[in-house]
A and B are shown apart, each in its own frame.
Chain A
Amino acid sequence: MSNLSHKWYRVYRHRGKPDDLASGLSAYVRNRRLSDNVISLSLEKRPGKEFYFILGLVTDTPSEAESIEDALSDCPLLRGFADNLQSHEEFRNFTSGELRLTTLGQTIQYRVMQREALDDPFADELVHEENPSHAANELLWYLSSIGNGTWSQLQRACTALGMHRTGEATRMARTLRILGHLEMSPDGAHWSINPAQTVSARTPSGTLSFLTGARNAVANGTVTRQAMGPDRLIVADEADGFAAELIACNLPTVSDLIAGYREVGHVDPYNNKLLTYDLNGFSNRPFKNVPGFYKVVTPSDRTLHLLLDTEGNWRSGDWYSLRFFHLALHHLLFAPEYDPASWQLAVMEDQRLPEAYERALVLGSGLMPSVQKGWLIYQNVSPQLAEAITSRLQIKPREFVT
């Protein structure tokens, strides 16, 4: 209690059930708006037919005490007034037996804490509508200002910017990664924005340069809007080399890339529920230790997406990479198509490339792929880039079909 408030007690005699008394007094205090002043009720723990109870009262304005007592005098439960105690010491001296203390006023009711539901940053995209580019721009400005943070902070920023549906934060995080603006820690718990950098790409007519990484609201450049992510800012300065081709040439093969994904230890097929991926999604077919993509539901009901590789190791990673590895392990990949005339490369939408491969393709233009009839179309993919990517994938591209 504050040092400035005046607290006193009123003692009453009563016959009846203590619980009825407590609920009746509680209703009276609430209805007469006395909850700021009548705060506690102390009852004898083992009352007989007639027993004493004590009301605890408090006020910041001692001159109010009389009017508070007047308001109590109307209560039929408070007919048996016995004594007024002016201090806690008097209260202690008055009571000898054990008391049951309950609250009447100056309380709040318990409520459950509001918690944000966190998405999985490496899940598949549940949202397929396009995000407005201004929200993606603002998210990039905001995250750039912080530099790095937790997944919870990123999701909260997405929510504040209007991207509050389940999966929208996941999709924005992936878009920013593919465009070279952001990276995540291997467990998805943290992120950081990359330093600002100019990227140059070969074009049929020369060189195209654009900005990646940290960005603020006044960053200069010729704007290309894209509905799927932040604007591309084209600049005049050129970088050394063509980043997309350099990345593509240094990418490992699919089997080497799988070996780089994080091992997660043993997964017991008896204690966990394992759902096997096939072209129709995850199914309940019995687990036969076959390498591939699995949805693992733990005894505590957590869901993980894991890959069982050909060596019998369980590995974690983003949903699209694991699905791609599954298709590769089972020779189910459909060759990408390339058009050397328009420098466009198309990948089937349901076999989206692992993140590193897709980043190399996207950094050829600085633009996310467009979606057409089940294909992802990547722009400004030079013949050298197309050759490097498809050779790392060990798949010969087919002639482009429009």
Chain B
Amino acid sequence: MPSYGDWNRALHAYFLRGVPAGSTIYLEISDETLERIGRRFLRDEPSDGWATDFLDSVKKRVVQGDGVNLHSFKRFDGTQLECLPFLATLVLVASRMGRSGELHESNYFARLNRALGTSRISQQNARPKGMETGSNAEEPLWLEWGRMLRLRGFMPTARPGEGARRYINYAISQALFRDADKQKLTEIFAQNSWPRDLDGEALATLLRSSSGLTTQISVLLSRVGSDAEAVEGALQEIYSDWLDTTAGMTGKGVGRTSSSTIHCGLYRTLHFRTREPRYRLLPVRPWRSNGSISVELGEDSVQLMEQGRYFEPLALEVTPETLRDGLSLPLTGSVEFTSLLLPSRKAWALTRDEYDEAAFGSFGKPGVGEHFVLLAHESLSGDIERATEQGLLKYSSKAKSDAFGDEWTEYEEVLVIAHQLSGANDISSVLREAICPVSTFSLRTSGGLVVPGKKSWLQFSPPTIGVNSYYSEVGFSVSLDAETIQEGTVTCDPTSDVAIDIEWQGVGGYEITAHARGRTQRVLVNLVDWHSLPAPSQSDLGVHQLRISQDFGLMGPQIVAGEA
């Protein structure tokens, strides 16, 4: 039987391993999630089911007599947080209550007592013995979880509530799609014949134009940035589960259907002197991908190299035929992922690479005020011109693509200048879905000295936090390690980008939240010092040499055989 330590390692692996820095983390625990974690990371399915096994291990670790002892948890040691399975238990109880629709504080703690086998403090107070006050019991553990996430470059999501729900809201806030939402989603999936290999972003786009969404689904679909990635990741899991169910699979150890595909976008670079564009494939890292995956390119096998939320662009030129028909390439090295797919699309919106300002790629939908390159099939040229005439869209220049011939046009420095474009029914929905910002305002980081591979910046060179909005005002707040240090309102200037003047206070995890019209967006900025720079991988060093003859070159002080 897995121990508390085994479950703790499994939870850390499931929620954090392989997740790119900067991601938003929800400790989304339900009976189904525990099944998934157990099957993936632990051996020998217990006879009473994974959830019972999990609760038994937590009881053994924290229950003393008829109460709990939370003071024996070790603080975050730099690698693992010992209290994580206990926090997962708090979320599991909330998840089970969400199903029955009875989320009240006294009911919650009654359920928690039943799950842990503990007794209530008194007739009047339903909290388990040992958890007399939330501020002394579970809240410090939630704050520790948030601190650990920020230290590792992730965005925490657990939040206190108001009044009586202050402490149980930490657990409630960890659910993205609740049972009623999942039920609605599967109804929508069943009503539509969507392709099996949809990625999370495409699913979100299709769902936005669906009717009958629950309020929670609508709110989640309006999120952008790393918050949206978490939503898209969860959507893809629900879609995969639904596909497995409809295919009659039990899901136990059987390969997934839709999640066996790694999706690709495009990556466009310009030669810094000649300005000639070059397109390559940009594979998107699946949510929680682990291990080494290689793609078969003819006779060569090329390993996909992780680079934040994506893999490094593949050294495979994109041809007109690839764009027209899409492309599927076999993958090796992973049981979960068997093919790499570039979908066939008529419009590609490519936004700037945050690590290389001269490059553009399929890094998600453009935000408000965010310039992008639009590579569009000629069949959309009428729609693009119509949107331009109506004052909805503007670009600096257009040219037939050198790379793809007469059928494709590249529009440079495109900007969606009116929110109305998303509802303009006389403009092709294919075009609108590709380029319209998801939200009415956006919060973006730019500049500064980024720490490679992490969502961090060097302390003396923080990023600029820009706000662009179709609304006239956006409120903001800045917190440093969960303490609010600044609040204010930005008056948005429709003629230019506006930056929030942040009072940086040295090293630490800053969460910048912008809000307008009941919607929020967040970015996490970790400021670190020089000692936090990661060591390079040895394979990243010594790539080039100074050629001194036909046969020899110099690599620093060393004479080496010449490059081919």
Residues of A in contact with B (beta carbons under 8 Å apart): 1-4, 7, 33, 35-36, 39-40, 56, 60, 88, 101-103, 106-113, 115-116, 118, 120, 138, 141-142, 144-153, 156-157, 160-161, 177, 180-181, 183-195, 197, 199, 212-214, 216-218, 243-244, 246-247, 250-252, 256-257, 260, 302, 355-356, 359, 363
- Beta-carbon contact of A1 and B495 below 8 Å: no
Q: Chain B nearest CB: distance from A93 CB in Å? A: 14
Most buried by B among A2, A108, A188, A247: A108
- Beta-carbon contact of B548 and A103 below 8 Å: no
The one of B215, B274, B420 in contact with A103, judged by C-beta atoms closer than 8 angstroms, is B420
The one of B368, B541, B552 in contact with A192, judged by C-beta atoms closer than 8 angstroms, is B541
- Beta-carbon contact of A113 and B413 below 8 Å: yes
Known: A33-B472, A189-B272. Is A106-B419 also a contact (CB below 8 A)? yes
- Beta-carbon contact of B447 and A152 below 8 Å: no
**CB-defined contacts of B425 to chain A, threshold 8 Å:** 88
- Beta-carbon contact of B417 and A183 below 8 Å: no
**CB-defined contacts of A160 to chain B, threshold 8 Å:** 447-449, 458, 461
Q: Chain A nearest CB: distance from B228 CB in Å? A: 14
Q: Chain B nearest CB: distance from A230 CB in Å? A: 13
**CB-defined contacts of B545 to chain A, threshold 8 Å:** 183
| Ranked 8 nearest A-B pairs via Cβ | A147-B540, A194-B556, A192-B543, A147-B536, A243-B557, A180-B556, A106-B470, A217-B530
**CB-defined contacts of B549 to chain A, threshold 8 Å:** 252, 256-257, 260
B344 within 8 Å of A (CB atoms): no
- Beta-carbon contact of B559 and A148 below 8 Å: no
B321 within 8 Å of A (CB atoms): no
**CB-defined contacts of B556 to chain A, threshold 8 Å:** 180-181, 183, 194-195, 197, 212-213
- Beta-carbon contact of B423 and A108 below 8 Å: no
- Beta-carbon contact of A192 and B542 below 8 Å: yes
**CB-defined contacts of A4 to chain B, threshold 8 Å:** 215, 218-219, 222, 518
Known: A88-B425, A108-B468. Is A216-B420 also a contact (CB below 8 A)? no
Compute how far the CA of A359 lies from the CA of B392 in the bound complex, rounded to whole angstroms.
56
Contact with A along B518-559 (1 / 0, CB 8 A): 100000000000110111111011111111111010111111
Known: A145-B535, A195-B542. Is A110-B417 also a contact (CB below 8 A)? yes
- Beta-carbon contact of B417 and A108 below 8 Å: yes
The one of A40, A116, A192 in contact with B420, judged by C-beta atoms closer than 8 angstroms, is A40
Known: A2-B222, A150-B359, A260-B547. 4 other contacts (CB 8 A): A3-B218, A108-B470, A148-B541, A148-B544
Please, which residue of chain B has its CB at the minimum distance from the CB of A190? B544
B273 within 8 Å of A (CB atoms): yes
The one of A33, A113, A142, A191 in contact with B544, judged by C-beta atoms closer than 8 angstroms, is A191
B418 within 8 Å of A (CB atoms): yes
B76 within 8 Å of A (CB atoms): no
- Beta-carbon contact of B554 and A217 below 8 Å: no
**CB-defined contacts of A88 to chain B, threshold 8 Å:** 423, 425
Compute how far the CA of A56 lies from the CA of B424 in the bound complex, rounded to whole angstroms.
12
**CB-defined contacts of A109 to chain B, threshold 8 Å:** 417, 494-496
Contact with A along B436-467 (1 / 0, CB 8 A): 00001000000111011000001001000000
25 residue pairs bridging A and B, Cβ less than 8 Å apart: A7-B423, A33-B472, A60-B518, A103-B418, A108-B369, A108-B468, A109-B417, A116-B358, A138-B530, A144-B533, A145-B452, A145-B536, A146-B452, A150-B272, A152-B357, A160-B449, A183-B542, A183-B544, A183-B545, A197-B556, A214-B541, A217-B531, A247-B554, A356-B554, A359-B546
**CB-defined contacts of B419 to chain A, threshold 8 Å:** 1, 39, 106-107
B74 within 8 Å of A (CB atoms): no
Question: In residues 491-506 of chain B, which contact A (Cβ within 8 Å)?
Answer: 494-497
Please, which residue of chain B has its CB at the minimum distance from the CB of A261? B547
Compute how far the CA of A161 lies from the CA of B458 in the bound complex, rounded to whole angstroms.
10
- Beta-carbon contact of B415 and A146 below 8 Å: no
- Beta-carbon contact of B390 and A103 below 8 Å: yes
B213 within 8 Å of A (CB atoms): yes
Compute how far the CA of A193 lies from the CA of B537 in the bound complex, rounded to whole angstroms.
11
Q: Chain A nearest CB: distance from B92 CB in Å? A: 30
Contact with A along B149-167 (1 / 0, CB 8 A): 0000000000000000000
**CB-defined contacts of A214 to chain B, threshold 8 Å:** 536, 541
